[in-house]
Homo-oligomer: A and B are copies of this chain.
């Protein structure tokens, strides 16, 4: 899991049906180590109702599909 800061939203003009009804956030990883390394922003599905500027915990890969019962069809 990564601690990320929400920096925006994504709207898609065309998308796979499995993503319908989900809000997509652009998130930027925050490095809490003493090195403060930078990582590229990516897109995450919002399951807690987060807004821009808030800190969120983001899971990736197959783990992401296990968060929230209704998400089993999310890529």
A residues at B contact (CB < 8 Å): 1-3, 7-8, 10, 12, 14-16, 18, 24, 26, 28-29, 31-35, 37-45, 47-49, 57, 59, 61-68, 73-75
A-B contacts, 27 of them at CB < 8 A, read A1-B42, A1-B43, A1-B44, A1-B45, A1-B75, A2-B43, A3-B42, A10-B57, A14-B49, A16-B48, A16-B68, A28-B34, A28-B35, A29-B40, A31-B40, A33-B40, A39-B40, A59-B75, A61-B61, A63-B64, A63-B65, A63-B74, A63-B75, A66-B73, A66-B74, A66-B75, A67-B75
> 10 tightest A-B contacts by CB?
A33-B41, A31-B40, A1-B43, A63-B75, A28-B33, A59-B75, A37-B40, A35-B38, A32-B41, A67-B75
